[in-house]
Amino acid sequence: MGKNSVFSPDTLRQERALRLDGAMGTQILRFNLTEEDYRRGLPVTPTRDVKGDNECLNLTRPDVIRSIHRSYVEAGADIIETNSFGANSIVQSDYGLSSAAPEMAFAAARLAREVADSAPRKVWVAGNMGPGSKSLSLVSDFTRPEWRPCGFDEVAAAYEEQARALIDGGVDLIIVETCFDALNAKAALYGVQKARPGFPVIVSVSVSGGGRALTGQSLEAFYTAVSHAPLAAFGLNCSMGVEGLLPLVRSLSSWCPAPLVCYPNAGMPNATGEYDESPEKMASHIMGLDGEVNLYGGCCGTSPEHIRALPSLRSRTVPPPGKSLVLSGLEMWDLGEEPIAASPAAHVGKSEDFAGMMERGEYEDALYSVSDRLASEGASLLHVNLDGLPDTPAVMERLVRLIQSDPSVSSSALLIDSSDWETLLQGLKNAQGKCLAGPLDPHEPDFAEKAAVLRSLGAAIWVQNLDDRALVIRTLASVGIPSRDIVFNIG
């Protein structure tokens, strides 16, 4: 691999698994910086103390960040991550620094790029984008379970701005990491592709001890929700130590059709919240990932000493994708062959009781009725159609957000069905899983364009008014939609 080579889909499919760097925050703490170190030289006056807002240091103490990157390169990292986890306008709004976020991200990329380019070997630069501080799926106010502090478009725009600054600063790829909400991750992927279509992205998830994301979504369902993007890798970071993540990585390794990444913490935090697993102990546990991952490194509590101690690992062989339609809610569902069966419990034209409750604005009662029917039917796919109600985009937004708040309903995947384009979009922008959406008419002149938009929001495509299946498949293949994600018949 030449020093000037470009990061490509094959970069993580080599014989040797590549090595990522370790924690940034752990190393920053070693410098014992003051509030003044974080504040002096900022282009905007913050509205509160900023010590701990590490992205400020890209502008105020670039020497510190440059030194940390250099220490990881010297420790053997093949990829170093920019100090830009929170260099996002929504995150920085907590400090009154939203307008400075792009400058923070650009400076982060330039600092890492400078260190990587001065290395005697090839070192990649990954633009680090954190999960954000506002969840799109989790309920923020239990008296208003349909309310969210931010909408999809706002979050996606913040990620687009961050991604654009990182790419302009010279990163080779982007890592959306420590993800806890697949809808936020979909907004990040949407933003990255707006900034630079086709740019390589890794998605890495943080899980609880039960092996699920904070929203309750399984890893399989999370991967399914983001699988529409051309992922350079998918996997796990943070969460816990290597021992805790090993079973999850091995499970993913058995089926996931993307390269895998794993960069765990230095063990579990002790009584004082510190991570004290030694480099040697972590290295011994990492050997369990041999042949199971394509990229590995360290997260919270790890240091250059940890990265230096990591053994060389054989890279995992990535299996091909399956051929059947796979959707997800909180769970992953393999729908198999057509016709696709869907419960009509949330279809106003097929469920009289549901329609009546929706017309009267009895949303919670409507949700209970859907939950009861899904439980009796055992359906994996819920058909949501609100056509005929007033202001269907707003009603769709509210209903799908309520669905996300109820695991008995959100476990199922959603079929978002509407003749109104904005209503379709609102359904997809509020569902954390991978949905089926449509119907689209292949005779319409903007058929492929609309299908591409639905795909960018993570959906499989339902096509109606069909004359020629082969032509539809070829047309949608031209905008990156594989045949397994095209449905012609709904049972």
Of the listed ranges 139-143, 227-231, 457-461, 476-480, the least confidently predicted one is: 139-143
CB 316 within 8 A of CB 352: no
Nearest to 187 by CA among 141, 210, 155: 155
- pLDDT above 80 for 92: yes
Distance of CA 388 to the CA centre of its chain: 34
If DSSP codes are grouped into helix, strand and coil, which group holds residue 102?
A: helix
- pTM of the predicted structure, to 2 decimals: 0.96
| Mean pLDDT along residues 130-153 | 94
Average pLDDT over the chain reads 95
More confident residue, 467 or 97: 97
Q: What is the pLDDT of residues 155-195, one digit of tens each?
A: 999 999 999 999 999 999 999 999 999 999 999 999 999 99
225 vs 231: CA distance, rounded Å = 12
Q: What is the pLDDT of residues 219-254, one digit of tens each?
A: 999 999 999 999 999 999 998 889 999 999 999 999
User: Checking DSSP bridges between strand 173-179 and strand 124-129, what pairing results, if any?
Assistant: parallel
Q: What is the pLDDT of residues 413-424, one digit of tens each?
A: 999 999 999 999
243 vs 283: CA distance, rounded Å = 11
More confident residue, 276 or 112: 112
Contacts for 54 with CB less than 8 Å, ≥ 6 apart: 24, 25, 28, 83, 85, 86
- pLDDT above 70 for 2: no
Joined tokens for residue 458: 């993570």
- pLDDT above 90 for 273: no
Q: Please give the sequence-ordered ranges of beta strands (E in DSSP) within 37-136, or none if there are none.
A: 79-81, 124-129
Contacts for 208 with CB less than 8 Å, ≥ 6 apart: 214, 239
Q: What is the pLDDT of residues 363-415, one digit of tens each?
A: 999 999 999 999 999 889 999 999 999 999 999 999 999 999 999 999 999 99
**Amino acid letter, 385:** N
Question: Which residues are bridge partners to 340 per DSSP?
Answer: 490
| Mean pLDDT along residues 265-283 | 88
| Mean pLDDT along residues 204-210 | 92
Q: What is the pLDDT of residues 287-330, one digit of tens each?
A: 999 999 999 999 999 999 999 999 999 999 999 999 999 999 99
More confident residue, 491 or 107: 107
| Mean pLDDT along residues 441-456 | 96
Query: For position 4, what pLDDT does the model report?
Result: 66
CB 140 within 8 A of CB 148: yes
Query: For position 284, what pLDDT does the model report?
Result: 96
Please give the domain boundaries of the chain with CATH numbers for all domains: 18-309 (3.20.20.330), 325-487 (3.20.20.20)
Angle at 394 between CA 370 and CA 184, to 5 degrees: 80
Query: For position 264, what pLDDT does the model report?
Result: 95
